Amino acid sequence: MSITKGKLYVVATPIGNLGDVTLRACEVLSAADLILAEDTRHSGILLQHLGIRVSLQSLHDFNERVKTEPIIKRLLAGEQVALISDAGTPLVCDPGFHLVRRAIEESIKVIPIPGPCALTAALSVAGLPTDRFLFNGFAPERGVPRRKLLESLAGFSATLVFYEVPHRIMGFLKDAIAVFGKERPASVAREMTKKFECIYRDSLSNLHQFLASHPEQQRGEFVVMIHGADQPEDDTRQEKVRLLKILLGNSLSVKLAVSIASEILGGNRKELYRLALELEKNE
């Protein structure tokens, strides 16, 4: 007798306002045999609010590798499993990558249940170009590696997006000013969808000065978006070469490197492919 495999649902949940939960998310969570949550206490409040009583287990950065195989066994046995994070869309700077990858390896169907995401919510109201953006997650905590990361991004014309936390926001903005210049346009979104949501749009220097003079505005969770570099047409090749070198240097295939570069930079795929082959040949 063959057993039908279960499905792994990757479910987005509210990032602050509980009213943002979708009907489909409620349906999937209610029907699941198991819900995996980054913090069961935090997610328990949401589930209680929704009137959902389903078995709840923790899955976070410190136990994901240990818990993945038992969960895979349950999925293979036919159970339906839902993965949620503390807020927003799982795997966007949240746990779940190892579980999703193992599920795919076992040919278990992985189904996205889209919904809230701080990244896209903030971009939609930033007033910065959104046709191309580069999400960098959380920048390094310490100054030197953080500045090195920012310096590596200085030539990118796409809008740069970062997540930040209260105790690092001022240091991040200070380093951003040093690397990108004080007049670079930017936007800081604070406490998205929550009671004290604030969205500020100004130069990096003015944003830093505003937050410095208003310490109460340094609290909460931040999405920082920085306008990409203004580049003359002659510099576009250099940007493409720089990105392809980074991607190929991380052991990516030419095909995958070109695909990623095309998503980030846009432009002609054939040209990117030709550049990638040249770089690979010269290595």
Quick one: pLDDT band at residue 233, thresholds 50, 70, 90?
low
Which of 107, 51, 60 lies closest to 83 in space, CA to CA?
Answer: 60
Nearest to 259 by CA among 245, 244, 280, 242: 244
User: What per-residue confidence (pLDDT) applies to 268?
Assistant: 76
As a whole number of angstroms, the distance between CA 254 and CA 244 comes to 9
Q: Tell me the longest C-alpha to C-alpha distance in the chain.
A: 69
Over residues 87-142, the pLDDT tens digits come to: 999 999 999 999 999 999 999 999 999 999 999 999 999 999 999 999 999 999 99
Give the confidence band of 241 by pLDDT, cuts at 50, 70, 90: confident
First to last CA, the chain: 54
β-pairing, 185-190 vs 133-138, is unpaired
Q: What is the pLDDT of residues 242-251, one digit of tens each?
A: 889 899 888 8
Domain extents for the chain?
A: 7-116, 119-226, 233-282
Q: What percent of the chain has pLDDT over 70?
A: 97
Q: Are 281 and 255 in contact (CB under 8 A)?
A: no
- Average pLDDT on 142-161 reads 94
- The label of the residue with tokens 């909460």 reads 220
CATH number of 119-226: 3.30.950.10
pTM: 0.80
Query: Taking the CA of residue 223 as centre, how many other CA atoms within 13 Å lie in the half-sphere pointing to its CB?
Result: 26
Q: What is the mean pLDDT of the chain?
A: 93
- Looking up tokens 């943002």 gives 20
Provide the pLDDT for residue 1: 43
Ramachandran angles phi, psi of 235, nearest 5°: -85, -10
Lowest-confidence region among 77-91, 95-109, 143-157, 262-276 = 262-276
Span 169-220, pLDDT tens digits: 999 999 999 999 999 999 999 999 999 999 999 999 999 999 999 999 999 9
Look up the CATH number of domain 7-116.
3.40.1010.10
Query: Quick one: which H or E segment has residue 160?
Result: strand 159-164
| Cβ(172)–Cβ(139) below 8 Å | yes
* Residue 179 Cα distances to 153, 182, 218, angstroms: 9, 9, 21
Structure tokens that stand for 245 in this block: 């070198």
As a whole number of angstroms, the distance between CA 112 and CA 50 comes to 20
Task: Give the H/E segment covering residue 264.
Answer: helix 254-265
Cα gap 132→90, rounded to integer Å: 22
- The Cα-based distances of 265 to 8, 151, 197 in angstroms read 32, 18, 31
The answer to whether the Cα torsion of 125, 210, 181, 135 is positive or negative is: negative
